Structure 1
Amino acid sequence: MTHQASAPRLDPTVLRDLHLDGDGPRLLDVRTPGEFRTAHIPGSYNVPLDTLREHRAELLHHLDDEVILICRSGARAAQAEQALAEAGLPNLRVLDGGILAWESAGGFLTRGPERWDLERQVRLVAGTIVLITGVAGLFLPGLHLIGTAVGAGLTVAALTNTCALGMLLSKLPYNRGPRTDIDTVIAALKGTS
């Protein structure tokens, strides 16, 4: 079954008002544990996108309320929405603009140790590869093609709204933070952790 329609977007100011009332929906933050530790909406649950995709059938039994999906800007949350919708979960919404829009709308964040977000890491790695291979290509003909391949990869990432480099970087210990396993996620959703 392919899910065609995307989830309705929830304006950050609307969520902020719901959150202040204490009757807000369940918030699932699909960023990496490292990103979540850096800053997250109080009361949100960290269910990294990879974990959510792999264990969506198990999660369905613990997500009977309205669910708001959150990431940095909305792209990964949209991927999570598609995965959960394909598994049969109704009442999904994506926080429009993600954590960035939430903070801009005056929403409070619980902060931890500061670290670079995944998008910034992708820009650093891709830019460094292009710079080094471009300069080295002046001395070693053909080396500049590596930079061309990185550019092609970034183009595909933009067109498909996915990023292979970002997925690879998310697996580094720096981004993983504390291990997030499905049993811990389910215990937190049940309120038993």
Structure 2
Amino acid sequence: MADITAPELKQRLQAGETPTIIDVRETWENEESRIDGSQNIPLGSLPDKLDELEELKDQEIIVHCKSGGRSASAKAFLTQQGFTNVRNLLGGMQGYQQS
């Protein structure tokens, strides 16, 4: 699945859509700034949370971090685990805040 841009995500949220958004930054980063409706699962904790995410295997999941690096790793990991519709937020939280 193609990645998603910050303006595209903002437009969808403003239109009332509620995609599954996972923030893979550390908890302290999430406490400083977050995208409304996102859930915080730090990248290192992702393997431990797979059971909780199982029902989302075929649904769209948008992952983000500060700039896009950690979320790219999260996307690769989830895809390897059989998730079929994982999208990385290009530019991460920095791009989201600037758009």
TM-score, structure 1 normalization: 0.48
- Tell me, which stretches of 5 or more residues in structure 2 are unaligned? none
1:11 is the counterpart of 2:2: no
- 1:48 and 2:66 correspond: no
What is the aligned partner in structure 2 of residue 167 from structure 1? none
Measured at CA, do residues 61 and 82 of structure 1 come closer, stay the same or move farther in structure 2, by a change above 3 Å?
same
**Structure 1 counterpart of 2:92:** 98
Greater per-residue helix proportion: 1
- SS for the counterpart of 2:55 is coil
1:60 paired residue number: 53
Tell me the percent identity. Answer: 33
- CA deviation map 1:140-181 (0-9, x unaligned): xxxxxxxxxxxxxxxxxxxxxxxxxxxxxxxxxxxxxxxxxx
Name the SS of the counterpart of 2:84 in structure 1.
coil
Question: How far apart, CA to CA, are the structure 2 residues paired with 1:60 and 1:24?
Answer: 16
CA-to-partner distance for each residue in 1:90-144, whole Å, 9 max, x for gaps? 1110000000000110xxxxxxxxxxxxxxxxxxxxxxxxxxxxxxxxxxxxxxx
Tell me by how many angstroms 1:42 deviates: 0.7
TM-score w.r.t. structure 2 length?
A: 0.91
- Show CA shifts across 1:16-42 (max 9, x none): 000111114110000000000010101
Give, in whole Å, the separation in 1 of the partners of 2:97 and 2:38: 14
* Unaligned segments of structure 1, at least 5 residues: 1-6, 106-193
Q: Quick one: which amino acid aligns to residue 59 of structure 1?
A: E
Q: Which amino acid aligns with 2:95?
A: A
1:25 aligns with 2:33: no
Describe how 1:1-193 pairs up with structure 2 within 5 A: 8-56=2-50, 58-63=51-56, 64-105=58-99
**Greater RCO, CA 8 A, separation 6+:** 2
RMSD: 1.3
Classify the secondary structure of the residue corresponding to 1:89. Answer: coil
